[in-house]
Amino acid sequence: MPVRPPRPSGPPLNALRAFEAAARLGGFSRAAEELCVTPGAVAQQVKLLEDWAGVALFDRQAQGVVLNDMGRQVLPLATRAFDQIAATVQEIRAVASPNRLHIAALPAVAQLWLSPRLPGLRRALPDLEISVTAMEQPPNLERDPFDMTLFFGDPAEGEAIAGDEVLPVCSPALEGGLAHVADLAGVNCLSDSAWAQDWPLWLQRIAGAEAPTVRGPVFSLYALAVQEAVNGAGVLIGHRCLIERELREGRLVAPFDHPVATGKALILQLRQPVREPLARLAAALRESRL
């Protein structure tokens, strides 16, 4: 009679993934954001791995968790393993569907900068299938199934394809009542919740100590704020590269033509190595005009 003893079981892959993300990113909350789960679920998976290994990988402290000596020893091994898994998956995807490309972009960039350029890209690159996902934070191109990202960031962190300048804009109907910066105190000043410092930045640079106090509706979707400015709801502190079409076509005007640089830029990043279809898409984007 053959002897078939049960094989020892390893830890679940999800437990290893939760540990690697938490250790690499420095906490359960940031790992939860990357993995699209709750911090409690990350903590549970890490505890499962620790129970299986019979050793703690994090020190639990009042301020949060801190990777201990054992965790620091394991982290590079886990990171290397998941990097290799991701590389294998991406290689399969690239070979199986070389002309299928996926862009991740900030929602405002996807709606206002990229969307108007998509018809031209389709005409120029009819053999490519281009998908777009809007998200608030840049994905990890070494791990996530994206080929290109478009987000605002430090120009030193990637290829800057558009500078980032802010300036007040409004519908032509409102322009006549805005002869001086002080007039902004008497109108609705629209803003985006993610860019709450845009108005203070512009006012401080342009008016300094004489800057008026401005108030108005706040939106969580920048495209909605832009549309409300077009509708005449107030004066928007606009990012020039996102509203260039509205300015050129006259739906928005700049009553004070004093743009202020934010120090950031629209950054293009590409999955490495850059394959020929992706290189063609990136080149077309660089050359695209509205």
User: Which residue's structure tokens are 């590389």?
Assistant: 87
pLDDT tens for 130-180 read 999 999 989 989 888 999 999 999 999 889 999 999 999 999 999 999 999
Q: Please give the pLDDT value at position 202.
A: 97
Q: Is the pLDDT of residue 95 over 80?
A: yes
Instruction: Report the distance separating Cα 85 and Cα 91, nearest Å.
Output: 10
CB 12 within 8 A of CB 44: no
162-262 is classed CATH 3.40.190.10: yes
Cα–Cα dist 169/229, whole Å: 8
pTM for the whole thing?
A: 0.84
Quick one: pLDDT band at residue 2, thresholds 50, 70, 90?
low
Domains 94-161+266-287 and 162-262 share a fold: yes
Helix (H, G, I), strand (E, B) or coil at 78: helix
Model confidence over 45-85: pLDDT tens digits? Answer: 999 999 999 999 999 988 889 999 999 999 999 999 999 99
Work out the number of other CB atoms within 10 angstroms of the CB of residue 238. 29
| Whether the predicted pLDDT of 1 surpasses 60 | no
Name the fold adopted by 94-161+266-287: D-Maltodextrin-Binding Protein; domain 2 (3.40.190)
Q: What is the mean pLDDT of residues 202-231?
A: 95
Dist. CA 76–CA 6, nearest whole Å: 30
Q: With contact defined as beta carbons under 8 Å apart, do 150 and 106 qualify?
A: yes
- Return the SS3 of 161: strand
- What confidence score (pLDDT) does residue 64 get? 84
Domain 13-85: CATH class, spelled out: mainly alpha
Domain boundaries, the chain: 13-85, 94-161+266-287, 162-262
Instruction: Determine the Cα–Cα distance for residues 166 and 241; give it in Å rounded to an integer.
Output: 9
pLDDT at 5: 76
pLDDT tens, 261-276? 999 999 999 999 999 9
